[in-house]
Amino acid sequence: MATEPQINWAAIDADPRFQELHRRKSRFLWLLMVLSVVYYFLLPIGAAYCPTLFRAQVWGPINFGILFALSQFVVAWLIAYVYYRKASREFDPMAEELARTAASIARPS
Amino acid sequence: MKLSKTLALVATAGGLAASPSAFAFFKGAAVPERFGWLALVAFAIIIAITMYVTYRASKRVTTTQQFYAAGRSISGLQNGWAIAGDYLSAASFLGIAGLISLYGYDGFMYSVGFLVAFVTVLLLIAEPCRNIGKYTLGDILAFRNDHKTARLMAAISTITVSIFYLTAQMVGGGLLVKTLIGIDYDVSVIVVGLLMLAYVVFGGMVATTWVQIIKAVLLVCASLLLVVCTWAPYGFSLPAFFGGVVTDPKVQAQVAKLLGDAAANMSASQLGQRFLEPSLYLKNPIDQVSLGMALVFGTAGLPHILMRFFTVPNAKQARLSVIWAMIIIGGFYLLTLLIGNGAAINVGAATITSLDKGGNMAAPLLAQYVGGGPESALGNLFLAVIAAVAFATIVAVVAGLVLASASAISHDIWVGIVKGERATQAQEVRAARVCALIVGAIAIVIGILSKGQNVAHLVGLAFAVAASSNLPCILLTLYWKRCNTGGIVLGMIVGTLTAVGLVLVSPNMTYPQTEIATAQKVIAAAPTKHATLQSAVDAAPEPAANAKARAALKKGDAEATAAEATVTKFSGQTTSLVGLEKPLTQLKNPGIYSIPLGFLGVILGSLLWRRDKKAEEMWEELYVRQNTGIQAELL
């Protein structure tokens, strides 16, 4: 790895652009993560403790329980899509900008 | 030269099963004896295609990056299919369709967790791992911790998780091939093992990836065809299809059987509707939450899934591969919902369980039905194709697991610890191949030794261990500055031991006293039952009814004999494997305790460990790297 250019990691870490990326990304990721976990666990908990609701027939013989289980797929895909859009439009350009200038970011005095 | 000879040898071993003498084994299998050759042709085609791919790949695999990571040349779309190939094991393909066909709603609910799991992988794991990891879990954990210790812990955990998963796959696979086409259990375990070894040893990650892709595409196509054939009679209407499920007498009979006395006051339509409602299979809500936790957090810690993210060129492609994997896996489970229910209507739970108690034959039998039934050539051709796809599934999943374990041994233990990171490319590739051979041989031996054991809970255990040990270590080393070597060690130990320990004292184990008590109940009831069934035989004069009554009588007597055998088998034993008379906990899935304890282990271990200067200095590098991908291409 002799060709590897020296990178000042601490300087990038302290760079306001990186701090901004970190702040936006963490908030967004953990929000989606909590949303996904909470929504998922509503399924086994709901099935166990709200049997009447799950039994309610909504569309012919199709009951709320089946629709709710199907909605889990839609929500998982939606979360993936929302993250994908946000990451490609917002996080990627910020990270690329940092990567491009990485070699020239010096340690702040 | 030597290589092509060996490949030919493996192909012959595969073909051995296809020799005429194997036809003798077809008795009692899902594929009728006279159509056996169809199954063998389907198997031979799949083996030939994958062997060709392996042969092509073997010429390219000369560097470590090729062997462990397919030269980082896999695209997001390709890797998405490969992840689906790695993840959709026979357990999820045949197992979930089977659960749905027997228990309706609960089987479907079971499949949801397997998809949601990938949200964790997408948001927290895939991109950072691609940005800081090289080939293995050990690379990630060693980044800012003590190299040797972290690598050792990662390797042990990788092997533990993979062996649990592998055992379930080998035993399940052997049984499956036996049930489908009647080939002897030991022979099928050896054939699966040899094929998988050929892929991994000669083709490394390149061949393994392509085998996964081929298998996933075949699996999805076969399932789509099955769904189209099943759903078309209902005009592709969802309410009409479920209307068919609810009004089917076989479904109603199955619900009545499952509910027992509780079904006495229910009308036929109520029984049918009950099939679409929860809790015919999953009875303990805490257990379900616990299982859900293991699935949702465990997938992100499965070493063979993690390894897939090192095969793509950058974090963007890693992200894209999870998105594709989610589309494919989610779509596949939606198909399974229709396949399972279709099998419940068209084949019926009674026929499915007569071949396999766990319901694994639901999808294959449905294929036979939509093709024209057990007597038709088309029906058996379709069944043969499904059987061959199931076989490819087992081989591909096992190959992924063996590659992950072999990489942990060669890259982390041999090169990282023994050789102190000093080995040439050629040496390391050779070491990796030798390790793959050893792990593969062990897998075959385990498969044969575990014959007849109940290994169904081992997949759940693999997920639980991955969720309780690997995931806390990965997450906290990636996202918590204070995390250090002490945390990795304690987290791995606590997570693994609590997950395994809780299963050892759970109802998953065999308890001789309970087994004997159940068997004795059957024996005590046997004389009365025999008399009732005998009088039924005497009371049925016409031949068809008489034959049916006789069959019932024979089955009843066989149950009594089996119960006596159980009593003899367990006589003298009073305790389970770990010396318990009865389970200490009613919980079958340990996740709800072991996952928080694993996290606690990492946190406590890190805080108690001496303040680690290096881990904190390296934190900035790790954190910048994982978020920006700077120099990821140099790893």
B61 or B28, greater pLDDT: B61
Of A16-30, A64-78, B213-227, B505-519, the one with minimum mean pLDDT is B505-519
Run of H or E including B271: helix B268-274
**What are the structural domain ranges in chain A?**
10-99
- What is the distance between the alpha carbons of residues A53 and B183, in angstroms, rounded to a whole number? 48
Residue B5: CA count within 13 A, CB half-sphere: 2
Q: Is residue A76 within 8 angstroms of chain B, CB to CB?
A: yes
Q: How many CB atoms lie within 10 A of CB A60?
A: 14
pLDDT above 70 covers a percentage of chain B that reads: 96
Q: What are phi and psi of B510, to 5 degrees?
A: -90, 125
**Do B330 and B92 touch, CB atoms closer than 8 A?**
no
Q: What pLDDT is recorded for position B321?
A: 96
The pLDDT value given to residue B17? 45
Q: What is the per-residue pLDDT across B154-211, written as a single tens digit (0 to 9) for each?
A: 999 999 999 999 888 888 888 888 888 788 889 989 988 999 999 999 999 999 999 9
**Three-state SS for B226?**
helix
Kindly state whether A31 is in contact with chain B, defined as any CB-CB distance less than 8 angstroms.
no
The pTM of this model reads: 0.89
Q: Is the pLDDT score of B27 beyond 80?
A: no
Does residue B277 sit at the A interface (CB-CB below 8 Å)? yes
Cα(first)–Cα(last) distance of chain B, in Å?
A: 33
**Mean pLDDT throughout B204-225?**
93
**B277:A63 CB<8 A:** yes
Average pLDDT over residues B528-554: 83
More confident residue, B14 or B507: B507
Chain B contact probe: residue of A27, A41, A86 with most B CBs at under 10 A: A41
Q: Do residues B628 and A97 make contact, with C-beta atoms less than 8 angstroms apart?
A: no
Rounded to an integer, the average pLDDT of A22-28 is 93
- B149: confidence class by pLDDT, cuts 50, 70, 90: very high
| Confidence (pLDDT) at A2 | 41
> Helix and strand tally (H, E) in chain B?
28, 0
Provide the pLDDT confidence category of residue B9 given band limits of 50, 70 and 90.
Answer: low
Band (pLDDT 50/70/90 cuts) for residue A4 is low
pLDDT tens profile A5-19: 678 888 888 888 999
* pLDDT for position A39: 96
- Does B60 have pLDDT greater than 90? no
pLDDT tens digits, B225-257: 999 999 999 999 999 999 999 999 999 999 999
Q: pLDDT at position B177, please? A: 83
Q: For A47-68, how does the pLDDT look when each residue is reduced to its tens digit (9 = 90+)?
A: 989 989 999 999 989 999 999 9
| Cross-chain residue pair B119–A36, CB shorter than 8 Å | yes
Task: Number of A to B CB contacts under 8 A, please give it.
Answer: 154
Q: Helix (H, G, I), strand (E, B), or coil: what is residue B391?
A: helix
Q: Residue B610: how many CB atoms within 10 A of its CB?
A: 8
Give burial (CB, 10 Å; 0-12/13-18/19+) of B521.
exposed
Answer yes or no: is pLDDT of A108 > 60. no
Q: Give the residue on B whose Cα is nearest the Cα of A18.
A: B624
Task: Please give the radius of gyration of chain B, using alpha carbons only, rounded to the nearest integer.
Answer: 25
Minimum distance, in Å, between the CA of residue A65 and any CA atom of chain B: 7
Q: What is the mean pLDDT of residues B54-58?
A: 90
Residues of A in contact with B322 (CB under 8 A): 80
Query: What's the average model confidence in pLDDT over B585-600?
Result: 92
CA distance B385 to B222: 8
On the question of pLDDT at B15 being above 80, the answer is no
Residue B114's SS3 state is helix
- Identify the three-state secondary structure at position A58: strand
Of B387, B19, B384, the residue nearest B176 (C-alpha): B387
Q: If you average pLDDT over residues B337-366, what whole number do you get?
A: 90
At A86-99, the pLDDT tens digits run 999 999 999 988 88
Closest partner residue to B634 (CB to CB) among A1, A12, A57 is A1
The alpha-carbon radius of gyration of chain A (Å, integer) is: 22
Per the CB < 8 Å rule, is B296 touching A99?
no
